[in-house]
Structure 1
Amino acid sequence: MVYNQKKNTDLPFYERLNRYLHTLQFQFPDTYPSETITPPPWTVKLPDCNKSLIRFNKTETNQTIIKKNFHQIMSHFQEYNHIYTDASNTENGTAAAFTTASGYNSCHKLSKASSVFSGELTAILKALEYTRSHDNGKTVIITDSLSAVTAISQLYPSHPILILIKKELHHLQQQNKTTHFVRVPSQMDEIADRLARDATDIDELHTITRTAKFDLKQIFKEMIINAWQAEWNLSKSKLAEVKKTVLPRKIYSLERKQQTIVTRLRLGHTRITHSHLIDKTQEPTCEICHCPLTVKHILIECEAYNRHRKLHGFPSTLAELLKEGCNPSQLIDYLTDIGSVNEI
């Protein structure tokens, strides 16, 4: 390739990413093709979406009040075919389902890469496809996904399943069929929720193998973190001894000086142990133990400070002392007692 001939030229991002994915032996899943909406989006009437129940906090509002308002909303749709949709994501994957008032149930398993949002959209899409061939002309789709209902109202959607939903809505409009959407709290959508949750455990269920490209971001993130973690597990650095994961660490509410002390201890590089590299002097040794002076020796090993460690309740290992979520005040108080807090 031309990049191999120009060694001083940085590779484009897509080429670097492609090579990195190749080293990880990543296989791209089948994705929805990129397509535009036909007909133009401004010719497709935006559906009526009732989101009035979001004003109720389900944890603070009496369920009787929520149900009363729900039944009041549904009283305007007595002549409509009611369809409940939902999606579920478990360790076994993602599934979408819908159920009708007449008792018809439909479940669809999605690829493991699919998000719950894509599952919610898939459930709505399948409900609309069912409506086009079975409905009497008026349908109300009840869902507990506020994000899905909000996305359906977009004039220019970019999610591939949203585009398919827009097409289905246009077909229904051409057939003079009316479709409304009602967003409800999750407890009002129990049957569809149970169907979707159970569907994730059914291996024989037909799986929709296509994945929305929007869902690949999370796959890439998890894959890169896992690869990074595998390399980190082999690291011999001082930080790797106390920080077992590459995930972001907890930020403590400390003064800048205190935060600096804790960070330097975790890195294993402090003024008292590493200033000789700058001063061009000999590596420091413990005057009592006559061994190299390190953070581990100061905090765990030096016999001169055993009483102080016991007083402050220090654990027996450095990994336990400096682990994620350690007590910074405990460390600083100990260093203050032994007179080393200003040497870190």
Structure 2
Amino acid sequence: MSNTEESFAIVSDSQGALNSIKSRFPRDPLVQRIQAVYSNVVEVGKSIFWIWVPGHVGIRGNVMADEAAKRATGVRHVDVQVVRHLDLKAALRAALVHPKPWRPPLLLSRIERVKIHRLRIGYTQITHAHLLRGEPPTVCVHCGNQMTVEHILRECPVLEPIRQSFHLIDEVGEILKQPQHLKNVIKYLRSANIFDML
């Protein structure tokens, strides 16, 4: 706003918007921001007049605003600082009614999905069955260390060449999270003769 002007008129054809701005305790964050700006303007001795005009009645600013709104509908990305709860609610409802398509299936068999799930939670037959039987922990037949998911997928030095041949990365969480790695994990487990023990 110009420092030389003392009063301003804001003309709107939305009586509901003007009533919201006049309300004492608005819940809408955008209305709260408008009220804060209004208070700041009044504090410095300037005046704002709110004018409701039914329809556009040829007001140049309204016509320009309509044209800008029409142009904005073609923009793919909109930077919104404040999201109103009603807008969020509408977006969530739209997402529920028209959900995005799911990612394509991983094309793993049911048994392969079960084995991957067991590895993800860290409890497999080979690493934890001893607890049910009251026996000492299972040790790796290759190196003698205790069998854990981490040992199978990352630590066993004897299985390292097989792991490398299937291009498995060191981070266990990433191996089991990324769909592109899961087929190689299955191939590795089968090649190392561990798959059926999980």
TM-score, scaled to structure 1: 0.32
Taking the aligned partners of 2:177 and 2:79, their CA distance within structure 1 comes to 37
Distance 2:193 2:80 in 1: 64
> Using a 3 Å threshold, how does the CA distance of structure 1 residues 306 and 211 change in structure 2: closer, same or farther?
closer
Match of residue 335 from structure 1: 189
Greater strand share, 1 or 2? Answer: 1
Q: Quick one: which of 26, 30, 45 aligns to 2:27?
A: 30
Give the 3 Å change call, closer, same or farther, for CA 289–135 of structure 1 in structure 2. Answer: same
Question: Which residue of structure 2 lines up, in the alignment, with residue 271 of structure 1?
Answer: 125
Instruction: Give the corresponding residue for 2:89.
Output: 215
Matches within 5 A, 1:177-326: 191-194=68-71, 211-212=85-86, 215=89, 252-326=106-180
Distance 1:340 1:252 in 2: 21
Query: How many Å separate the matches in 1 of 2:168 and 2:84?
Result: 53
Q: Say what the alpha-carbon RMSD is for the aligned residues.
A: 4.2
Instruction: Output the CA distance in 1 between the equivalents of 2:167 and 2:111.
Output: 23
Query: Which structure has the bigger radius of gyration?
Result: 2
Give 1:275 deviation, angstroms.
0.9
Distance 1:202 1:254 in 2: 41
How has the CA–CA distance of structure 1 residues 193 and 283 changed in structure 2, closer, same or farther, with 3 Å as cutoff?
farther
Amino acid in the other structure paired with 2:131: L
Asked whether the equivalents of residues 283 and 292 of structure 1 are also in contact (C-alpha less than 8 Å), the reply is yes
Q: How many residue pairs are counted as aligned between the two chains? A: 137
Q: Distance in 2 between matches of 1:190 and 1:318?
A: 54
Sequence identity of aligned pairs in percent?
Answer: 27
Contact kept? 1:249, 1:324, Cα under 8 Å: no
Higher relative contact order (CA 8 A, sep 6+): 1
User: How far apart, CA to CA, are the structure 2 residues paired with 1:329 and 1:201?
Assistant: 40
Instruction: Decide whether aligned partners of structure 1 residues 300 and 255 sit closer, same or farther in structure 2, where only a CA change above 3 A counts.
Output: same
| 1:16-70 deviations in Å (ceiling 9; x for gaps) | xxxxxxxxxxxxx815xxxxxxxxxxxxxxxxxxxxxxxxxxxxxxxxxxxxxxx
Change (3 A) 1:307 1:135: same
Do the aligned residues in 2 keep the contact of 1:332 with 1:341 (CA within 8 Å)? yes
Alpha carbons of structure 1 residues 314 and 191: separation in structure 2 relative to 1, 3 Å: same
User: Which segments of 5 or more consecutive residues in structure 2 lack a partner in the other structure?
Assistant: 1-25, 34-51, 59-65, 93-101
Specify every segment of 5 or more residues in structure 1 that has no aligned partner in the other structure, as ranges: 1-28, 32-92, 94-108, 113-128, 137-188, 219-247
User: Hey, what's the Cα distance between the residues in 2 that align with 1:311 and 1:253?
Assistant: 22
For the 8 Å contact 2:168–2:181, the answer to whether it is kept is no
Distance 1:215 1:338 in 2: 51
Q: Deviations over 1:59-94 (max 9, x none)?
A: xxxxxxxxxxxxxxxxxxxxxxxxxxxxxxxxxx9x
The answer (yes or no) to whether the contact 1:258–1:332 under 8 Å persists in 2 is: yes
Q: Distance in 1 between matches of 2:175 and 2:90?
A: 38
Deviation at 1:265, TM superposition (A): 1.2
Rounded to whole Å, the distance in 2 between the matches of 1:282 and 1:195 is: 68
Distance 1:194 1:272, change over 3 A: same
1:193 deviates by: 4.4
TM-score, with structure 2 as normaliser: 0.53
**Structure 1 position 192, deviation (Å):** 1.8
> Which letter maps to 2:185?
L
